[in-house]
Structure 1
Amino acid sequence: MAYRQTDKVAARLADTRRSILDAARGLVAEGGFAAVQMSEVAKKAGVATGTLYRYFSSKEALCRHVFREVSAREMGKLAEIASGDEAASERLVKVLETFAGRAVQGRRLAYALLAEPLDVNLAEERSFFRRTHAEIFAGILEDGIENGELPKTDVRIAAACIAGAIPTALIGPLAPESHELDSNPDRVVAEIVKFCLAGAGIAAPQTQQKTTERRKTA
């Protein structure tokens, strides 16, 4: 008789896998992908190292899953904001503030996702991550142009420029050795938002909600 996995066993396996991913994500948030060592992940997850390899064949496979999962969560938040009912310019501001603001809030994890040197497989994940960001921005710009709210522009190029400008601007402030975010992180976010809005032909609003408020609702 073929073995049939019971619901209880399936739930236990899923819980173990979740514990492993959470442990690896915690290590990335503390010290980047370089800090992910299989023995340390196993220790934090409460499993034997041999058990860990039953779920993920290598450190690279585990890191790729962590990268993909965290990236998908962040992109989902931005996509949800972008699909709202507000004017295009308002949605653009919210997406920009959320993107940059959440990166500043979780700076070590964000640095790992946006800037840490990676192997080929993770570099591919990062490229997909940025292309998806560009698609989110392109959708907002298209909406604004269609309803006459935003000036006509090459949407794809403008969206790619915005998606590339944010991580580029954040690399320095997010770097582990940097102290730029220690005193006034909201200023960094505000400058990024202002620059990206100008690139889309939109004047920065006179009064923006505080980044901390935006992050709470994200």
Structure 2
Amino acid sequence: MAYRQTDKVSARLADTRRSILDAARDLVSEGGFAAAQVSEVARRAGVATGTIYRYFSSKEELCRQIFREVSSQEMGLLATIASGDEPARTRLVKVLRTFAGRAVKGRRLAYALLAEPVDANLAEERAFFRRTHAEIFSRILEDGIEAGELPPMNAKIAAACIAGAIPTALIGPLAPQSQDLDKDPERIVDEIVAFCLAGVGVAQPDRKARKIERRATV
């Protein structure tokens, strides 16, 4: 008779896996993927080092799962904003400000996701993340063009440009050795938003409007 896990055993295994992933994510948030060494993950999770390999074949697989989970959470948040009923410009600003703002607040984790040197498999995950990000922008731009809020353009190309520009602009300020964020993090977010809006022919908000948009950001 084939062995079947009881609900209690399944729950225990799931809890252990979750503890491992949480520990690894905390380490990545503190020191990037390089900090997520298997022995340290095991210590943080309160398990034996060998237990890690029962759930993940390698450190690389564990890091890929962290990347997928965090990226999926962030993209889900942006997709929810993008699919709202507000005017396209409002949604565009909210997505831009949410993405850049959350990256600034979660500086070390964001740097790991966007810029830290990684293996080929993680690089593929990063490329998928960029494409998903571009698709979110593309839907907003298409809505804006159809509603007459935005000038005619190739929405897919414009979206790809925005999705590439934001990580590129953030890499310097997010870098561990940079002090830019210590000086004026909101200004960095404002400049990224203003640049992307100008790129699709949207007037830049004035100081009062920027303050309102900041409060509206998730």
Corresponding residue for residue 208 of structure 1: 210
Counterpart code for 2:161: C
In structure 1, the residue matched to 2:179 is 179
Q: Is contact 1:189–1:211 with CA below 8 Å preserved after alignment?
A: no
Gaps spanning 5+ residues in structure 2: where? none
Task: Describe the superposition over 1:90-136 as per-residue Cα deviations: whole angstroms up to 9, x where unpaired.
Answer: 00000000000000000000000001111000000000000000000
Distance in 2, matches of 1:142 and 1:202, equals: 14
Q: What is the root-mean-square deviation of aligned Cα atoms in Å?
A: 1.1
Q: How many residues align?
A: 216
Q: What does residue 15 of structure 2 align with? A: 15
Deviation at residue 205 of structure 1 after TM alignment: 1.9
1:132 and 2:132 aligned = yes
Question: Residue deviations 1:46-94, cap 9 Å, x none?
Answer: 1101111000010000000000100000000000000001000000000
Opposite residue 32 of structure 1, the aligned amino acid is G
Residue identity opposite 2:177 in structure 1: E
Q: 3-state DSSP class of the match of 1:117?
A: coil
CA contact (8 A) 1:97 1:214 kept: no
Distance 1:112 1:211 in 2: 27
After superposition, give the CA deviation of every residue in 1:138-177 in whole Å (9 maximum; x if it has no partner): 0000000011111000111100000000000000000000
TM-score (norm 1): 0.97
Q: Is the 8 A contact 1:142 1:155 kept in 2?
A: yes
Question: 1:63 maps to what in 2?
Answer: 63
After TM superposition, give the deviation of residue 212 of structure 1 in Å: 6.0
| Partners of 1:186 and 1:211 within 8 A in 2 | no
- In the alignment, the residues of structure 2 paired with residue 50 and residue 171 of structure 1 have an alpha-carbon distance, to the nearest angstrom, of 35
Give me the whole-angstrom Cα distance separating, in 1, the residues matched to 2:170 and 2:58: 30
2:88 matched residue in structure 1: 88
Runs of 4+ aligned residues of structure 1 deviating over 2 Å after TM superposition are 209-215
Q: Which residue of 2 aligns with 1:100?
A: 100
214 and 105 in structure 1: CA distance in 2 versus 1, 3 angstrom threshold: farther
Is this contact kept in 1: 2:94–2:213, CA < 8 A? no
Distance, in Å, in 1 between the alignment partners of 2:216 and 2:19 is 29
Q: Is 1:108–1:176's contact at 8 Å kept on the other side of the alignment?
A: yes
2:123, 2:203 → 1: CA distance?
34
- Looking at structure 2, the residues matched to 132 and 211 of structure 1 have their Cα atoms a distance apart, in angstroms, of 24
SS at match of 1:146: helix
Give the TM-score of the pair, scaled to structure 2: 0.97
Contact 1:101 1:212 in 2 (8 A): no
- Partner of 1:208, secondary structure, is helix
- Seq. identity, %: 75
1:145 aligned to 2:138? no
Q: Are the structure 2 counterparts of residues 108 and 135 from structure 1 closer, same or farther at C-alpha, using a change threshold of 3 Å?
A: same
